[in-house]
Amino acid sequence: MDLLKPVCDKTILEQAGHDTWRYRIPGLVVTAAGTVLAYYEIRRDADDWNACGIGLRRSTDGGLSWAPRFDLAAPGSTLTINNPVMVAARSGLVHFLWETGYNRMFHQVSRDDGLTWSDPVEQTTVLNGLRSRYAWTAFGLGPGHGIETRDGRLLVPVWLCDGGGRAHRPSVVATLYSEDGGLSWSCGAIVPRMTDQGEVLVNPNESALVELRDGRILINMRHETPRRHRALAVSDQGIGGWSAPWLDDRLPDPVCCAGMAGWPGVSGDPDVVAFSNCATSGPQRTDLTIRTSLDGGRTWPAARLLEIVAGYSDLASHGPWLYCFYEQGRADPTGICPQALVMARINRAWLDNKQERGE
């Protein structure tokens, strides 16, 4: 394929209305062998607590075709089963973390690009150890994906809430990490809530991570602060020593989960970061936009609208391709459940093509 030609292929992976389920919370990784794994929640309805399964779709040809859905957790459980997060390691292992009831966490591993998985191992004690610093009553992994750093550390974002009951707020953000390839996990420090401008982040929660050229970890956070722009912070290792967060006024956000990933295939530079979110500061989740930064998230010179009516999204890259797995449209009056989960495969020429945009 001529990579100078703009490419934006879209494939519907799940459609509301074809069965009794609803589909939300997309996550995405590409394995060391190049297999694209797209995973998501299966729900009874829009209620977060009615998520009851986790689905997986696999593509071994770069997103051109997709195997039928495989249920990592078969829908129908009386438990809340949600917030799936994967980490694709360079060794070929794929780590899969998920939770039940917003208070128990499990870990599984695939050694064959997501075809089969080890039995779940509970890892909740990792987060129990954080209670001396933050008396959480509920937590949420990711969502989206975690990362493996160049020195082999596995990192997964997590938010924690101490509101009791089924509350998701007030909340803070931290990371989970493994130094031994996923055999054991630990909990990192809580990201500060006081910004560099002296304002307090209100309920930071769902976050995304990326490693920069110098090895620092950039975190990009959703929050409910009245100034509706994404919050970012950096850490040397992603497990502590976080900088004061800053609100990036170039990244408006309506309080919605976003995607972030390195895209070194653009130039071979690991400081190239791709970001996807509903780029509006209003109450509606619209204008899903893809942006890239060439300087580790300091500026975002390239941007293009991908979908008008959208929601959550996640990103992954492989070679020249950037994949965006996202919620499209509205399937119910709440405006929460999407009409479809869509996979977009784009190249840099599409992102940069001003003529096609009529500019």
Q: In this predicted structure, what is the pLDDT of residue 270? A: 67
Residue-number span of the structural domain to which 12 is assigned: 8-352
User: How far from chain centre, in Å, is Cα 183?
Assistant: 23
Answer whether residue 3 is part of any domain: no
User: What does pLDDT average to in each consecutive run of 10 residues of the chain (359 residues)?
Assistant: 85 93 97 98 95 98 98 94 98 98 98 98 93 94 97 98 96 98 96 97 98 95 97 98 97 98 78 94 95 93 97 96 97 89 96 65
Read off the tokens for 177. 């990490």
Q: In this predicted structure, what is the pLDDT of residue 41? A: 98
Answer whether residue 357 is part of any domain: no
Q: Looking up tokens 């929050």, which residue turns up?
A: 223
Answer whether residue 2 is part of any domain: no
3-state DSSP assignment of residue 36: strand
Answer whether residue 358 is part of any domain: no
Residues contacting residue 296 through CB under 8 Å, at least 6 positions apart: 212, 213, 216, 218, 271, 273
Q: Sort 119 into a burial class: Cβ within 10 Å, 0-12 / 13-18 / 19+.
A: exposed
Integer Cα distance of 19 and 12 in angstroms:
15
Read off the tokens for 206. 């769902």
Nearest CA to 188 among 207, 167, 166, 201? Answer: 207
Answer whether residue 1 is part of any domain: no
Q: In this predicted structure, what is the pLDDT of residue 359? A: 41
Nearest CA to 106 among 91, 121, 116, 117? Answer: 121
Q: In this predicted structure, what is the pLDDT of residue 25? A: 98
Q: Tell me, what CATH number does 342's domain have?
A: 2.120.10.10
Answer whether residue 237 is part of any domain: yes
Answer whether residue 359 is part of any domain: no
Answer whether residue 114 is part of any domain: yes
Read off the tokens for 172. 């803070």
Total domain count, the chain? 1
